[in-house]
Structure 1
Amino acid sequence: MYPFIFRTVFARMDAERAHHLVVPVIRLLGVRPFAAIVRAVTKPDPSLRTEALGLVFDSPFGVAAGFDKNVRMTAGLHALGFGHVEVGTVTAIAQDGNPKPRLFRLVADRALVNRMGFNNDGAAAVAARLVAARRRHPRAVIGVNIGKSRVVDVADATEDYLVSARLLAPLADYLVVNVSSPNTPGLRGLQAVETLRPLLSAVRAAAGTTPLLVKIAPDLPDDEVEAVSRLAVDLDLAGLIATNTTISRDGLVSDPARIEAAGVGGLSGAPLKGRSLEVLRIVRAAVPAEFCVIAAGGVETAADVRERLDAGATLVQGYSAFIYRGPLWARQINRGLAASR
């Protein structure tokens, strides 16, 4: 049913508009009595229970940052069977993001191109919603992904991140420093070890007991992936997320005119699978066994998630395939994982 709805309805719409249309539906699924009804159908098998970051996850499979930027859908996504929801990216200062259109589908590649530009309501507003979400749905695992405000100079990035960390870390199950989005000018330059070390050190101190992770780009050379991985361990971070979106357009099969029309931005979805898996293996080889590594990028099926877990991922996240596979995607993943055990 969903593939037909996607082809005849959503695929004909602007991608961002389609996303906004499903937000109220997912929010409704998180409200009683709908949440209990949906959860009865989607609840992960007990065998998928995973312990990481000092937390208990119903499933190792969760939603990557970007889908729920402002803590609007956490309860509904939990009801749909996701083991955790990473919200954001959140910035200290509320911002509208880049001009529209800024989200594009490459259907032939099962991919998305986005240049959203961290559109979000700001750390203070998100903090207030997290308080409410915790009160209403205490069992949902919610991570918070933070980034640099666009109006803040890169030289002042640390103080900007600290504003968000101080507001959000006490309310988050875990906190992620995003230095790898291609859609904020100068941001990826912060991945260089010499600039990343003081930033992560400062945010680590501000996060207190909340587990802190860093999210890296798939476009980093292998030696830099290793260097950032070693840095994360050296700074006593709780983990690392591999990976964010890519600026590469290699290997795409979509019409070149469509790719050109989509323009610049981060590519996510199936084409990212190979490189994100490579980066995962590099990271895992560079960090201790107990270090949490969250794999993201190109995950579509239970077999993809199993491959990431077998390659050393502690947890796995997805986003783009949700658009193509529909609301029962997490249930499909979880059932496939349980059957493969």
Structure 2
Amino acid sequence: MTLLEKFYPTLKPWLFRLDAERAHTLTVKMMVIAHRVGLLQSVVSAPQKPRNVMGLTFPNALGLAAGMDKSASAVDAWSALGFGFVEVGTLTPRPQPGNPKPRLFRLPENEALINRMGFNNPGIHAAVKKLKRRRTKAVVGVNIGKNFDTPNEKAVDDYLHCLKAAYSVADYIAVNISSPNTKGLRDLQAESAVRELIFALKKEQASLQKEHGKTVPLLVKIAPDLNDMQIEALARVFNEQNIDGVIATNTTIDREAVTGHRLANETGGLSGAPVRERSNLVLQAFRMLLKEQIPLIGVGGILNGADAAEKMKLGAALVQVYSGLVYRGPGLVREVLAATAQAG
């Protein structure tokens, strides 16, 4: 057990007294410092079961979801904590501050978060510079999106810009069309729009593959708030375009699970335990509809090892956590590693 694991129960009440976003920022900085002084190393003794997915070798099945490290500033630290892969971002072509504060809220009674961050990030090129200096052997994914002021009819250009910029440093690239916090972004999940976007990205991927002499898988991150017809339409496009993978799911705009909570009406995406059931249903549906060779990454509501194992049982090849890490701390990493090492 690392010192960080040991002392997180003591640190947590102090962090939870801070504004949620301030605590988030401080936590990422503490991770970097803890890594520099060697406080994270022993967690790698947790069970390791490498996974070969999308032509990549993942040290284990557990990843850090996008949103925790938006600027790619602590990738080596997350890897030292035990994550087999780290997804940074969401990153946009130009830096942007995101939505007005406050924009991140805790719902401890529900083990949940609500965020309306709005793709606050330093821009794709600043993050790429940081990723060039990384030392980790963990797989690194780059999550990309469009700038808030880019109209949807020009969105393809933003995604292509980010794909080109990140290709040389990314192990995989995740296309975020499912955040509820950028106006109109989820409209890109419509069948015609997503077909146009993926076609353009896959074409550029083929060109970049020749240029760089390597294949960087292209994944799409989807919302949990999809009805059956939307799921079928997306699966149809993913199969047609031979997408390399699907991340299921992002945050939800549904509030049924937190009805009556004083923060329930805050605008933004709800994550954590309340999204687990819906996320699992969407994951299961896509596993049934997608070609066998298209892998799924399961994310949403993982608060313990059993939650992670359930996602793998439903068809996920890999899993990711974010909100669970806020509530459980580093101990969640070891627990999920043990559970996923036994699964599948």
Query: Shorter-chain TM-score: which interval?
Result: over 0.9
Q: C-alpha displacement at 1:204, in angstroms?
A: 1.7
For residues 133-282 of structure 1, the aligned pairs below 5 Å read 133=134, 136-137=135-136, 139-207=137-205, 208=209, 209-252=215-258, 255-260=260-265, 263-282=266-285
**How many angstroms apart in 2 are the aligned matches of 1:107 and 1:40?**
29
Asked if 1:294 is matched to 2:297, the reply is yes
Q: C-alpha displacement at 1:129, in angstroms?
A: 1.0
8 Å contact 2:63–2:85 — kept in the other structure? yes
Matched residue SS, 1:234 = helix
Q: C-alpha displacement at 1:337, in angstroms?
A: 3.5
Letter in 1 for 2:41: R
Q: C-alpha displacement at 1:155, in angstroms?
A: 1.1
**How many angstroms apart in 2 are the aligned matches of 1:217 and 1:340?**
25
For residues 1-341 of structure 1, the aligned pairs below 5 Å read 1-7=7-13, 9-31=14-36, 34=38, 38-46=40-48, 48-133=49-134, 136-137=135-136, 139-207=137-205, 208=209, 209-252=215-258, 255-260=260-265, 263-338=266-341
Q: C-alpha displacement at 1:15, in angstroms?
A: 0.2
Q: C-alpha displacement at 1:178, in angstroms?
A: 0.5
Letter in 2 for 1:12: R
TM-score (norm 1): 0.93
**How many angstroms apart in 2 are the aligned matches of 1:109 and 1:215?**
24
Matched residue SS, 1:20 = helix
Letter in 2 for 1:24: K
Matched residue SS, 1:220 = coil
- Contiguous gaps of at least 5 residues in structure 2: 1-6, 210-214
8 Å contact 1:229–1:240 — kept in the other structure? no
8 Å contact 1:239–1:293 — kept in the other structure? yes
TM-score (norm 2): 0.92
**2:3 maps to what in 1?**
none
Q: C-alpha displacement at 1:5, in angstroms?
A: 3.0
CA displacement 1:211-252 (0-9 Å, x = unmatched): 001111010112211221221121111011110000000122
Letter in 1 for 2:132: V
8 Å contact 1:44–1:59 — kept in the other structure? no
Q: C-alpha displacement at 1:28, in angstroms?
A: 2.4
CA displacement 1:73-127 (0-9 Å, x = unmatched): 1111111111100100000111000001000000000000000000000011111
8 Å contact 2:61–2:340 — kept in the other structure? no
Letter in 1 for 2:177: V
CA displacement 1:29-63 (0-9 Å, x = unmatched): 433x61xx6333334424x2111011111111111
Distance 1:39 1:257, change over 3 A: same
Q: C-alpha displacement at 1:10, in angstroms?
A: 1.5
Letter in 1 for 2:24: H
**How many angstroms apart in 1 are the aligned matches of 2:65 and 2:294?**
19
CA displacement 1:144-176 (0-9 Å, x = unmatched): 110011121111101111111100022110001
Matched residue SS, 1:121 = coil
8 Å contact 1:80–1:328 — kept in the other structure? no
**How many angstroms apart in 1 are the aligned matches of 2:339 and 2:319?**
14
Count of residue correspondences: 330
Identity %: 43
Distance 1:252 1:3, change over 3 A: farther
